[in-house]
């Protein structure tokens, strides 16, 4: 079966507001105040450790040990308020529904922990649109290793040779290349200005175009 696998953060949904809020909560607990703002959305979508590292750098620096100490606290804060500001990108759900109506299997492959990904997709009301979900901790490896992508395709009932990956970062681009499949990178996420330089097979400007793009790329 032909399959389309999606990244989550920055691809299907803008999760940056809730991620930044969780990180700032950790900084406030340490008496540092809010060290990140909306302009740091791109960093937020690179994960908790990236946010902690940037915030601590602005506060004069903290070691890797402190980042590791705060990381589980950040995840707890994030889980408690995972969908306060998060929204699906316009047309995302409709595009997935259209692909499924056309006979494609669909799945998610993300470097967000699987439990948090399940929780978020459920709160957004779209978990049922995806036949598989592989998170950062589902396998011993994570993207850009191609194995999580292949696992997501397989769990969706698809054929890794007849699949593509929709993402928003160099990590997704490298994952697709390593798996030998087309990469579709969205231009509307926080990293939109940079993704064109990566040379994806397609730079997606809007989700309404995705079904037609996939039809051309996935034999």
Q: What are the tens digits of pLDDT across the range 30-80? A: 999 999 999 999 899 888 999 999 999 999 887 788 999 999 999 999 999
Q: Where are the alpha helices (DSSP H) in the chain?
A: 16-29, 41-44, 48-58, 64-80, 92-101, 114-123, 147-155, 170-179, 192-195, 210-217
pLDDT in the model for residue 182: 97
What is the side-by-side strand order in the sheet with 3-6?
132-134, 105-109, 3-6, 163-167, 183-186, 202-204
Closest CA to 67 of 45, 50, 52: 52
Supply 60's token pair: 């004069």
| Catalytic positions, written as ranges | 7
Global confidence as pTM: 0.95
Decide if pLDDT at 191 tops 80: no
215 vs 185: CA distance, rounded Å: 16
Instruction: Give the pLDDT band (50/70/90) at residue 84.
Output: very high
pLDDT in the model for residue 45: 84
Using one digit for the tens of pLDDT, what is the confidence trace for 97-149?
A: 999 999 999 999 999 999 999 999 999 999 999 999 999 999 999 999 999 99
Q: Which residue has the higher pLDDT, 200 or 64?
A: 200
pLDDT in the model for residue 57: 94
Q: SS in 3 state form for 4-50?
A: EEECCECCCEECHHHHHHHHHHHHHHCCCCCCCCHHHHHHHCCCHHH
Average pLDDT of the residues in 83-97: 97
């Amino acid at each position: 079966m032909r399959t389309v696998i999606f990244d989550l953060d920055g691809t299907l949904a803008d999760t940056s507001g809730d991620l930044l809020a969780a990180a700032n909560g950790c900084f406030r607990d340490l008496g540092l105040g809010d060290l990140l703002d909306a302009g740091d959305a791109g960093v937020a979508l690179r994960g908790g450790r990236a946010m902690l590292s940037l915030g601590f750098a602005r506060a004069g620096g903290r070691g890797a040990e402190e980042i590791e100490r705060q990381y589980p606290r950040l995840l707890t804060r994030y889980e408690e308020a995972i969908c306060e500001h998060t929204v699906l990108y316009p047309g995302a759900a409709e595009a997935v529904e259209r692909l499924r109506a056309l006979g494609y299997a669909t799945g998610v492959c993300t470097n967000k922990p699987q439990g948090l990904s399940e929780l978020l997709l459920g709160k957004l009301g779209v978990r049922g649109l995806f036949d598989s979900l592989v998170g950062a901790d589902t396998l011993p490896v994570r993207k850009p290793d191609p194995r999580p992508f292949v696992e997501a395709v397989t769990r969706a009932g698809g054929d890794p040779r007849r699949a593509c990956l929709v993402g928003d970062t160099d990590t997704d681009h490298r994952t697709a290349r390593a798996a030998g499949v087309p990469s579709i990178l969205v231009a509307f996420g926080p990293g939109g200005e940079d993704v064109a330089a990566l040379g994806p097979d397609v730079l997606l400007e809007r989700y309404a175009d995705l079904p037609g793009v996939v039809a051309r790329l996935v034999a």
